[in-house]
Amino acid sequence: MKIARFSRVGFILAAAGSAVGLGNIWKFPYITGENGGGAFVFVYLITVLAIGFSVMLAEMLIGYLGRRDSVTSFEELAPRHKGAWKYGGFMSVAGLLIMTFYSVVIGWIFHYIAVAAIKLPDSVPAAESAFTHMLQEGVLTQLVYHTIAFLVVTAVLVRGIKGGIERLNLILMPMLFLIVGGMFLYALNLDGFSKAWAFMFQPEWHKLTSDSFVTAVGHAFFTLSLGMGAILTYSASLPKKSSLVRSALAVVALDTGIALLAGLMLFTFLFEYGAEPSAGPGLVFISLPAVFYEMGILGNFFAVIFFIALAFAGLTSAVSLVEPMVQYMIDRFKMPRFLAAVTVGLFFYFVGIIALLSNSSEYGQMLTFGSRNFFDWIDFITASIMLPLGGLIMAIFVGHIMEKERVESILKPQFGKLFGVWYFSLRYIAPVGLVTVMLHLMGILTF
Ligand code: PHE
């Protein structure tokens, strides 16, 4: 089976498009706010460097050498026990699950583009009640926008790697960089900027709890799209003579750069107008619209381009969440791409509706199990358990199972002397970090 190949820039933009998503612009600022700022950012940055980069490269290597869907790639590269290792590739189910709520959130963003253009809420309480109203009563509105997200993503997937995914990223990613960069430059001149800088980069260690430590590690995985085969599947289409090391560095740098720029920009606006940084998931949907309102017509303009950028970030990540499953069905079951894309699309569409309804006042009760509703359960199980577990499997696979000579023959020429440092961190640091996080989550290890 011949797999289409990205161009070199196409690959970097597609992988960066996968990594830079709602995680960077929606989630990172609010979890930074909730977890007290600087100390949390510090732990997150260390994790990205020490664990994130190592696992990203491992995941790229599996795709690049395997050249197939994630299941087949694992199977082919395992020196023994192929039948067992192929299950490593099934972690791509996580992407499909994430997509069920991711598509709903992209829907909210579409709705907010319209809100930003027409009428911004005039205060934080007004913004809060508008957001809560949309969640609890606006089932139809959400359904319409969730349907649009489903249609766009499925249409891109149907067109495949070159005509769909590469083209989408070549257009949307530069626009996203321009918008975030431009808004950052504007924020740089506001008084709130120095406060935002202090909030994000001056660690107050006492604010760091063991939970925020675990959140930071989980988020590092989520934001880099690691542990579920997105990067792996894209890497199967890498051009032949690519430098994996350089590509991984570029993707990690772009992802981290955008998260930091977006965070600084958002907190500047919030501090400038006296809003709270710890508002939680509603941060960009509640505090920010109210702040933009204060800025008058310029605020409407900023709000519109901000939500457009957020939609772009979301869409480029969304296609990468489900492409692994699509590729799997094409490779293993010889399904035509159209059929595979539509099947996968319909799955996340319908399960997404359950996620959407679980926030509503009418069906919320019915769809709440224990401490969380359906929507939050999926978020928790995927981001906190499945991705770290997938990352652990990849680290062990490349670090301990694949022949060292094979790994070395590809990466040593690209790394030079630093190969040993990477290999060590993949073999020991990443697994220990990931196991610690998982044990803590299960309540077995407390610190
Ligand atoms: N990295 C994306 C984000 O930050 C989410 C994602 C996770 C995409 C896993 C693909 C795979 O929003």
DSSP secondary structure, 91-124, as one string: GGHHHHHHHHHHHHHHHHHHHHHHHHHH---SSH
pLDDT confidence of residue 438: 84
Which whole number is the average pLDDT over 33-46? 92
Which whole number is the average pLDDT over 154-170? 93
Q: What share of the chain is helix, strand, coil (3-state, %, to 5)?
A: 80, 0, 15
pLDDT confidence of residue 208: 86
- Residue 246 pLDDT class (50, 70, 90 cuts): very high
- Cα 220 to middle of ligand 1, angstroms: 10
| Ligand 1 pocket list (CB less than 6 A) | 18-19, 21-24, 95, 98, 222-223, 225, 228, 230, 317, 320-321
Which whole number is the average pLDDT over 272-286? 82
- Rounded to the nearest integer, the mean pLDDT of the chain is 92
Our mutation pick for probing the ligand 1 site, out of 320, 387, 394, counting the most ligand atoms within 8 A of Cβ, is 320
Q: What is the DSSP letter of 227?
A: S
- Residue 240 pLDDT class (50, 70, 90 cuts): confident
Which whole number is the average pLDDT over 151-159? 97
* Domain 8-441 is found in CATH 3.30.70: no
User: Using DSSP, how many helices (H) and how many strands (E) does the chain show?
Assistant: 23, 2
pLDDT confidence of residue 314: 96
Residue 97 has pLDDT above 90, yes or no: yes
The pair of structure tokens assigned to 43 is: 């732990």
- Cα 416 to middle of ligand 1, angstroms: 30
The minimum-distance atom of ligand 1 relative to the CA of 314 is 12
The minimum-distance atom of ligand 1 relative to the CA of 24 is 4
- Residue 447 pLDDT class (50, 70, 90 cuts): low
In the chain, where the domains are located: 8-441
The minimum-distance atom of ligand 1 relative to the CA of 224 is 1
- Residue 215 pLDDT class (50, 70, 90 cuts): confident
Residue whose C-alpha is closest to residue 196's, from 178, 179, 211, 183: 183
pLDDT confidence of residue 184: 95
Which whole number is the average pLDDT over 321-349? 96
The angle at the Cα of 116, spanning 112 to 121, to the nearest 5 degrees, equals 95
Residue whose C-alpha is closest to residue 20's, from 320, 287, 305, 286: 320
**Which residue type occupies 396?**
I
Residue 283 has pLDDT above 90, yes or no: no
The minimum-distance atom of ligand 1 relative to the CA of 28 is 4
**At CB < 8 A and 24+ separation, what contacts does 373-380 make?**
375/101, 375/104, 378/97, 378/98, 378/100, 378/101, 379/98, 379/101
- Cα 179 to middle of ligand 1, angstroms: 20
Measured CA to CA, the distance from residue 358 to residue 376 in angstroms comes to 9
- Cα 227 to middle of ligand 1, angstroms: 10
pLDDT confidence of residue 1: 55
- Cα 238 to middle of ligand 1, angstroms: 19
- Residue 2 pLDDT class (50, 70, 90 cuts): low
Cβ atoms of 353 and 143 within 8 Å: the answer is: yes
For ligand 1, atom 11: residue with the closest CA: 225
pLDDT confidence of residue 441: 76
Which whole number is the average pLDDT over 190-206? 93
Which whole number is the average pLDDT over 423-440? 92
* High-pLDDT (> 90) share of the chain, %: 75
The minimum-distance atom of ligand 1 relative to the CA of 20 is 4
Bridge partners of 368, per DSSP, are 373
- Cα 12 to middle of ligand 1, angstroms: 15
Kindly report the number of other CB atoms within 10 A of residue 117's CB atom: 13
Measured CA to CA, the distance from residue 15 to residue 254 in angstroms comes to 10
The angle at the Cα of 108, spanning 173 to 216, to the nearest 5 degrees, equals 65
Chain-centroid distance of CA 152 in Å reads 18
- Cα 150 to middle of ligand 1, angstroms: 17
Torsion from C-alpha of 17, 424, 237, 79, nearest 10 degrees: -140
Residue whose C-alpha is closest to residue 150's, from 380, 343, 284: 343
Measured CA to CA, the distance from residue 385 to residue 226 in angstroms comes to 12
The pair of structure tokens assigned to 409 is: 């023959």
Query: Using one digit for the tens of pLDDT, what is the confidence trace for 20-30?
Result: 999 999 889 98
